[in-house]
């Protein structure tokens, strides 16, 4: 089986996660500044056997989309043009940042590392991917 790549798209940077080949477990990868995401995606697709791409869907508590959705749609459009063989899925990302912060708080990391926003972004991407993988089972 191929792997699945997930992204938690943000205004300044994006968190990435990847599945195992059996598409059962999500692993955090990197948090990349937005200027570098297309090069990062190109390299990861070259290195890994990626067949699906999962992007967070930024909804609020009343089920409305945040304004960043416009940027995300442009990002997805560019990915579809560049990689037409990739299937792209969307996953509700509500509370992923809160869950990521909670997960990090329960870890043994020092306070300075726990407050690192880049860590939160890639853990959020991992949560997004894991919720997608659960639906595949």
pLDDT digits over 24-75, tens only? 999 999 999 999 999 999 999 999 999 999 999 998 888 888 899 999 999 9
Segments forming the whole domain that contains residue 7:
3-136
pLDDT at position 114 over 50: no
Cβ proximity of 8 and 93 under 8 Å = yes
CATH number at residue 103: 3.30.420.140
Structural domains of the chain, count: 1
**Residue 119: predicted pLDDT:** 79
- What percentage of residues in the chain have a pLDDT greater than 70? 85
Burial 70-106 (b: 16+ CB within 10 A, else e): eebeebbeebeeeeeebeeebbebeebbebbbebbee
């Amino acid at each position: 089986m191929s792997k699945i790549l997930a992204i938690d798209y943000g205004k300044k940077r994006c968190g990435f996660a990847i599945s195992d080949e059996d598409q059962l477990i999500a692993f955090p990868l990197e948090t990349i500044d937005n200027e570098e995401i297309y090069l990062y995606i190109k390299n990861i697709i070259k290195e890994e056997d990626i067949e699906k791409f999962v992007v967070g869907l930024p909804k609020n508590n009343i089920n409305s989309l945040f304004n960043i959705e416009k940027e995300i749609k442009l990002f997805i459009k560019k990915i579809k043009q560049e990689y037409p063989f990739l299937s792209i899925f969307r996953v509700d990302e509500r509370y992923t940042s809160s869950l990521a912060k909670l997960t990090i708080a329960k870890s043994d990391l020092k306070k300075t590392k726990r407050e690192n926003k880049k860590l939160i972004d890639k853990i959020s991407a991992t949560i997004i991917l894991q919720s997608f993988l659960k639906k595949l089972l």
